Structure 1
Amino acid sequence: MLDDLRLSLPDVAELAHVRRPVVSVWRRRHADGPRPFPAPVSQRGGSPRFRASDVVDWVEATGLGNNAAFRADVALRAALDDAMGPPDDVALGGLTALLRLKAYVDEPLGTLAPEDVLDLADELDPDDDAVFTEVDALGEHLEMFCTLADLAAGSAYHPGAAVEALLADRFRTGRSRLTRSALAASAVALVADVVGALLLGAASQAGTSDHAPLADPYPGCGDLLAAVLGRDDLLDTPTALVPVGNEHRLVRRRLGAHGWSVRAPRAEGEPALVVTQVPPVGAGPLDDAAVLAMVDDVVLDLAPGQRALVVGPASALVAATSSREAESARSALLRTDRLRAAVLLPAGLVVERPRERVALWVLGDAHPEVPIADRWTMVADLSGVVPVGGRFPRAVVDDLCTDVLAALGTADDVARHAFRFARFVPARHVLASGGSLVAAARPIASGARDDAVAAAVRAGELVALLDAAPRPPLDVRVERGPAAPVRRVPLGALVERGIVRRVPGNRLDVADVRGSGDVPTGEVRVLGVPELCGETEPGERVVDRMTFAARYPAGRLTEPGDVVYTTTPRPAALVDEEGFSVVAWPARVLRLGSREPEDAPGAVGQDGRVVAEVLAPDVAAQARGTRWPSWEVRVVPADQADDVAAALARVRTGEVRARRELAHLAELATTLADGVTTGVVRMRKDGPGS
């Protein structure tokens, strides 16, 4: 099978979990020697193609790449792309069915006779709701696919993880049935976080640790259900209610492969938290009236006390309606008083339609005691929040979840909560105008809250911190000296002479980089483009030390005094005085060395030295687009080098201290303004302070 599969260089990079240029480096560095990179066996569109079996043998022999399951992943791609094998849909359906079967039995499927595998499928799925037809359709290929299922489950450590890996490849293969209307990973993660908050809130309100099952009337391929059920910290016995039907067979196999309970709803209104997307994954775009009709079906099926989260096009859920039919449908939904919160999300969250905006609706109990004229909903606008690294910022998610939980309460609950994102919208305003829910939102008139004196305590801490902050003298002494020509040397010449060494950065998986508050111990500071360009303070991003050592055995740390720099998106640099940091590519390191053992680092002859504290601003001052060998950097007189380096280091320390003080002042201003206006902070009459 692998002999017949041809891989391009981008294919090799994707399967080996490295960036595309890395494979070109492998090919160049290992062109000769006892174990050369495989030679291409064909060309397509001017690009070389390599025999998959040759590449697999080479990667396993050299130990390169970041994918321990490289052979298994290549084999799965070979099976699904094999022109001589079963059709694509049959291959994917059969492989996911066998993985579902592996979660049911202990022995390897490859050791069983094909008829025994069919008997097991019939035993697991006597009503043929998800598995039997797909296994039977493999026909003569069944034995080979059983071996593949064993290989995939073993390499992924679990059948469910193997199914997730298969579905992650759907965008490459262009399976429109699995990609149409699919949400980006950041949107799916946000939905899972909000649903998790709803589950915890409902359990807390009921005074129990048990959580209601999840229900999805339009599950598609199960992206939302899999994201929520996969949260180990949330559900002890994950259960999903999924309708029976041919269009729901894949989601049943997907969830079942994880070992989660999947069943059809026993009756209308069965206690469950509904989470769904309209239109579902696999369906094409729908007009606003059709979307609202599907949402209306969800609302009609909600029993008292039942909650639901719906993801759909913003044009139907929160924007100005596109037609009278859609306006009438949304007005009818608003009159039910079941819409507790609506959240507008940024563009770019629908993979195949990046310009489309989506929105969330959170549905809950109506308030029959509230007159129709006084009914309300909460609207949050997150259209300006950009996901970073495939996730929304943690603080944004946490605050949105607390806003949503408060919106599900009574009018008194809303009045007591200080909302960060949500705004109060009287239903009568929207019904009268038929316009955008976001445009109709207005600030809540009263937002008193009780935060257990946290705001007052924090304000006092900030005042004490600012008042007591030491400001040591810079201790920089200067005197007038004779003017002299500025000596400049091209950086390329310094590198050629060994005075400066260029050290590449580390290609980190974004999933391994965390905020400094997310890694409790053993963290290593990450320096990259955000730190160099001033978007993030050094030390805010870290990587776990053990994770870095395990996943990046060839990883490099900085040394004290290294200059970390980047040319993208513009030249920028800083001096890493402490050292022992991880430099994230495309950032690199300039390290001062010496040609002779007796020379000081950066020595340029007897009368000059390159000083890191001068080299960094020289690099940052270069014109965008110029090549680094032509950069001219200044040389400091040798007898002044140590003194100027120490003085500039103290100046930079003072600059960092001043920026930190400015941040504390800004936080104090915000804390005082928010605290006083919400009533949790009062200014003392007898003097300054809080």
Structure 2
Amino acid sequence: MAQRTDQVSVTLAAIARLAGVGRAAVSNWRRRHPDFPEPVGGTDASPQFALEAVEEWLKQNDKIAATAGPLERLWPRVADLSDRDRMGRVVAGVGARLASASAADGELVTGRTEKDVALDPAEQALVDEAVRMAGTEGGVETFRFLLDRWLGTHVRQIATTPAPLATLMAAIAAAARGAGPVRTVADPACGSGTLLLAAARRWSEPEAGSDLRPLGLLGNDGDPVLSSIADARLILEAGQQALVSVTAMDSLRDTFRPPSEPVDVVLCNPPANERDWGHTELATDRRWTYGQPPRTESELAWVQHVVSMLDEGKGSGVTGHGGVAVVLLPPGVAARRAGRRIRAGLLRAGVIRAVVALPAGAAPPYGIGLHLWVLVAPAPRSQDSVVLVDTSDCRHTPSTVSASRLPAIDWDAIGDRILNALQGGEGPGSVSVPVTDLLGEETDLTPARHAAAAGPTRPVDLRRLWTRYEKGLLATQDAGRSLRELSAVQGTVSLGTVSVAELERAKALSILSGVALPEETVRRGDVPDDGVGLVTGLVAIGPEEQQWIDRTAAEQADQNGLFPLTSFGDVVVVATAHGFDAWVETAAPRALGHHVYRLRVDPERLDPWFLAACLRERSNARRAGTHASNTSRVDVRRLHALRLPLEEQQAYGQVHRKLVEMEKALAELGGVGRELSDGLSALLATGRIAERRLSPDLPPASRSGRLRSVPADDIRSASSPSPGTRP
């Protein structure tokens, strides 16, 4: 039976997308407008409404968003199918039709033009409608929209490889392979094709001097819907130089047929923690060169399957031309005792070239730090060492920012550290370990157990830290000396206050709020000369955070009123309850993120340093706090300042300047103190500490300057004072 569009139901979230507002706004409309459509299904917590009635109400009340195009209105009809596979078949059908049309126009060179997708009448009607829309919306854009919505709807059922990680895996494979050309890339568990698409973007252009044969993209997936989507996606987006072949098959359990030609690169994110992967029926499989994987080690079955696909080439070193694989695996695969024998066999054969520990949050499941294994085809002469890289500390903000939110991943730092280690460079978090040292009772390949997070502290480092510490002490003393003469007034002082809202109405200041910038426009790291720093709500919690955007784009956006840039002397307020702060801007220009406000004062009526001193007081923020949503925020307009003449404001502002200088000196001193403490602790823990001048109470040191061990009896006698002496 064909799908009846008049019975299509939508949730509050879908209505919010149609209207271009938040879900809370839709809930408010339901309460405030008696004519808002009544629910036709769902539950009290998640009601559903008739799409046609909702669209009519939004049009009548002029609440349809300008950005809510035809695709936004089409998606609720697709979602109303209420089945993952039916929705997926629609997405695959649209992709197949668009890919077939593109190939017929000569825009693509592919292994085939269309993959059959069986559709029922309701699904076919949606495919036809989407293909008609693609004529105006664009074929690739239409397919991407539907695919992103489908993956987002079923994010807990379909694990995808994040695009930055896919790009990184392709870069690692290129570095490990060396200068050899890449003609064939495979993914035996391709899912929606993200890894193969990253490979196509890296190797689709033939290198100078190589043959002009198109890049071969080979994919397998046991889910027929996913394999159909991957096939269409690669045909649409892989470019003109790709031959695509995606098959619906279980790479482990189906009859193993080696590729018609050896594979140059394999990128794979295989299923993890599977028990029913074919342990019994595959007991005599010829792929288990390094041992039959135990039932609990399905990941090692995938590793051996991947190795069996690789081209042995002329050599399989980091600079050779043999096949290379990069596989994403759970961290337990590197250490579980059940897989020790297979890991040892892979090491002896020279198959494992590197193991990389990623930060938690780099890919699903986001709560653990996954590993990347860099594998090569076995060579007659195996390598002498394995590169182990720990990138778990490559984050933009400290892990204490929020208990419910993982800090941002610094993909640039991860890539630099890995590629430097693969090229033989030295640095923190990476080490080259001899194979003989790894072949022990455990054969543990966990990078954190071998790679130090930071380089050893040198004597010159200690001298520099002590110099910085002494300078910090002097700066703190100088900053505090001018404040030491201040005292508190006895008794109660009654001074009037004025709210920021009142100051705004009196035109003594103007307020502009920052916006949430698209993630693709934000860069991380040191701000370059052609960049503009970005102030976010995390600035008060993670001062190490460095984010920036392009200066030209920021200035144009400021002129167009899209988001504000700061100027010297503006007061900036972070209006999140957990990171509330206010200060006078001295590092302008900077862009402002979500929940960050710019207050520009009239200098003839307000002193900015005085205003910042009043606004930043914690009790002021508590009184102006709002708890109307799940996240506590501070209403900037409800903050108060003292009502004082401009001359007194300026006097108070001068005191606030000195206070800020002292806070800055204390923060710098605290940072140096932590570095100094960490360095000395590391020296103590490794037995590398020495004394240049010994205390008379300690036993004499050896000529090398290293401390001698002290007998336990001497320690007890030294810690227990004799009678009549003060401890």
User: The TM-score by the shorter chain falls in which range?
Assistant: 0.5 to 0.7
Name the SS for the 1:218 alignment partner. Answer: coil
What CA deviation, in whole Å up to 9, does each residue of 1:437-483 have, x standing for no partner? 22795359xx99xxxxxx99xx9xx99xx9xxx99x99989998995
Aligned equivalent of 1:376: 385
Q: 1:308 to 1:269 in 2, by over 3 A?
A: farther
Where 2:174 maps in the other structure, the secondary structure is helix
Contact 2:329-2:372 at 8 Å conserved across structures: yes
Superposed displacement of residue 79, structure 1? 2.8
- RMSD of aligned C-alpha atoms? 5.4
Distance 1:284 1:519, change over 3 A: farther
1:243 to partner: Cα distance: 5.0
Tell me the CA shift for residue 274 of structure 1. 1.1
Question: Residues 487 and 228 (structure 1 numbering): CA distance in 2 closer, same or farther, change over 3 Å?
Answer: farther
- Tell me what 1:319 maps to: 335
Matched, 1:229 2:194: no
TM-superposition CA deviations, 1:554-600 (whole Å, max 9, x none): 53445642231223324322223566643322334456579xxxx71
Indicate the residue corresponding to 1:513 in structure 2.
522
Counterpart code for 1:198: A
Q: How many residues align?
A: 592
Offset of residue 221 of structure 1: 2.4
SS in 1 for 2:358: strand
Q: Is the 8 A contact 1:8 1:50 kept in 2?
A: yes
Instruction: Report the alpha carbon displacement of residue 293 of structure 1 after superposing the two structures with TM.
Output: 1.5
- Is 1:252 the counterpart of 2:226? The answer is no
Supply the AA of the counterpart residue of 2:356.
V
Change (3 A) 1:76 1:152: farther
Distance 1:282 1:214, change over 3 A: farther
Q: Partner of 1:546 in structure 2?
A: 553
SS at match of 1:400: helix
Following superposition of structure 1 onto structure 2, how do residues 79-228 of structure 1 map, counting pairs within 5 Å? 79-82=78-81, 87-106=86-105, 131-134=114-117, 137-138=119-120, 142=124, 145-152=127-134, 154-155=136-137, 157-159=138-140, 161-174=141-154, 179-183=157-161, 185=162, 188-199=163-174, 202=177, 205-206=179-180, 211-228=182-199
**Closer/same/farther in 2, CA of residues 486 and 363 from structure 1, 3 Å limit:** farther
Distance in 1 between the 2:648 and 2:205 partners? 61
Letter in 1 for 2:355: A
Greater RCO, CA 8 A, separation 6+ = 1
Secondary structure of 1:378's counterpart equals strand
Q: Equivalent residue for 2:262?
A: 270
Q: Partner of 1:569: helix, strand, or coil?
A: helix
Gaps of 5+ in 1: 109-119, 407-413, 449-454, 603-608, 672-690
Matched, 1:329 2:338: no
Displacement of 1:342 in angstroms is 0.8
What is the CA distance between 1:75 and its match in structure 2?
Answer: 0.5
1:430 to 438, 441, 444: 438
Task: Describe the shift of the 1:2–1:518 C-alpha distance in structure 2 as closer, same or farther (beyond 3 A).
Answer: farther
Q: Note the C-alpha offset of 1:653.
A: 6.6
Summarize the Cα distance change of 1:165–1:545 in structure 2 as closer, same or farther, 3 Å threshold: same
Q: Distance in 1 between matches of 2:139 and 2:90?
A: 20
Stretch deviating more after TM superposition (285-294 or 251-260) = 285-294
Quick one: structure 1 residues 12 and 512, their matched pair in 2 at CA, closer, same or farther if it must change by over 3 Å?
Answer: farther
Q: Equivalent of 1:290, from 292, 295, 298? A: 298
The 8 Å contact of residues 198 and 405 in structure 1, kept in 2 or not, is answered as no
- Percent identity, aligned pairs only? 18
2: CA distance, partners of 1:84 / 1:439: 42
Note if contact 1:191-1:224 (Cα within 8 Å) is conserved in structure 2.
Answer: yes
1:98 is displaced (CA, Å) by 1.9
Partner of 1:399: 416
Secondary structure of the 1:432 match is coil
Residue 610 of structure 2 is matched in structure 1 by: 611
* Amino acid of the structure 1 residue aligned with 2:270: V
- Provide the C-alpha distance between the structure 1 equivalents of 2:587 and 2:177, rounded to a whole number of angstroms: 48
When residues 359 and 37 of structure 1 are mapped into structure 2, their CA distance, relative to the original with a 3 A threshold, is: farther
- 1:586 matched to which residue of 2? 595
CA shift for structure 1 position 310: 0.9
Deviation at 1:104, TM superposition (A): 2.3
Alignment CA distance shift 1:42-1:546 (3 Å): farther
Per-residue deviation at 1:490?
6.0
Say yes or no: does 1:241 pair with 2:218.
yes
1:561 to 552, 567, 570: 570
Residues 70, 133 of structure 2: 8 Å contact kept: no
Q: Deviation string for 1:152-173 (max 9, x for gaps)?
A: 4743x442x4333333223554
Q: Corresponding residue for 1:410?
A: none
Counterpart-to-counterpart distance in 2, 1:350 and 1:230: 20
Conservation of the 8 A alpha-carbon contact between 1:528 and 1:583: yes
Is 1:571 equivalent to 2:580 in the alignment?
yes
Instruction: Check conservation: 2:170, 2:199, Cα contact below 8 A.
Output: yes
Where structure 2 has 5 or more consecutive residues not aligned to the other structure, the ranges are: 208-213, 247-257, 279-294, 313-321, 398-405, 627-633, 680-727
The equivalent of 1:75 in structure 2 is 74
Partners of 2:673 and 2:488 in 1: how far apart? 43
Amino acid at match of 1:145: V
TM-superposed deviation, 1:378: 1.9
- Give 1:679's aligned residue: none
**Residue identity opposite 1:258 in structure 2:** E
Q: Which amino acid aligns with 2:8?
A: L
CA contact (8 A) 2:537 2:579 kept: no
TM-score (norm: length of structure 2):
0.65
Alignment partner of 1:6 is 2:9: yes
Q: Which residue number in structure 2 is paired with residue 279 of structure 1?
A: 271
After TM superposition, give the deviation of residue 257 of structure 1 in Å. Answer: 1.7
1:601 aligns with 2:603: no
Per residue, is there more helix in 1 or in 2? Answer: 1
Change (3 A) 1:78 1:515: same
CA deviation profile, 1:18-50 (whole Å, cap 9, x unmatched):
65446568x599x79xxx996556464235655
Report if aligned partners of 1:376, 1:427 keep a CA contact under 8 Å in 2.
yes
Shift of 1:277: 1.7
How far apart, in 2, do the equivalents of 1:620 and 1:482 lie?
18
Task: Give the aligned residue type for 1:272.
Answer: D
Given residue 639 of structure 1, which amino acid in structure 2 is its aligned partner? E
Residue type of the alignment partner of 2:347: L
Secondary structure (helix, strand or coil) at the match of 1:363 reads: strand
1:347·1:383 contact (CA, 8 Å) conserved in 2? yes
C-alpha displacement of 1:530: 2.1
Cα distance in structure 2, aligned partners of 1:535 and 1:439: 29
Q: Distance in 1 between matches of 2:610 and 2:550?
A: 29
- 8 Å contact from structure 1 (residues 9, 49) kept in 2: yes
Q: CA deviation at 1:11?
A: 2.2
Report the secondary structure of 1:103's partner residue.
Answer: helix
Paired position in structure 1 for 2:309: 301
CA 1:133–1:50 in structure 2 vs 1: closer, same or farther (change >3 Å)?
same
Give the C-alpha shift of residue 631 in structure 1.
6.2
Note the 1:343-358 alignment, pairs <5 A.
Answer: 343-349=356-362, 351=364, 353-358=365-370
Q: State the secondary structure of the residue aligned to 1:219.
A: coil
Distance 1:546 1:11, change over 3 A: same
1:620 to 1:385, Cα distance in 2 relative to 1, 3 A: farther
Query: 3-state SS of the aligned residue for 2:578?
Result: coil
Distance, in Å, in 1 between the alignment partners of 2:411 and 2:614 is 37
Note the alpha carbon deviations across 1:616-643, whole angstroms, 9 max, x for none: 4324885599555786655555422224
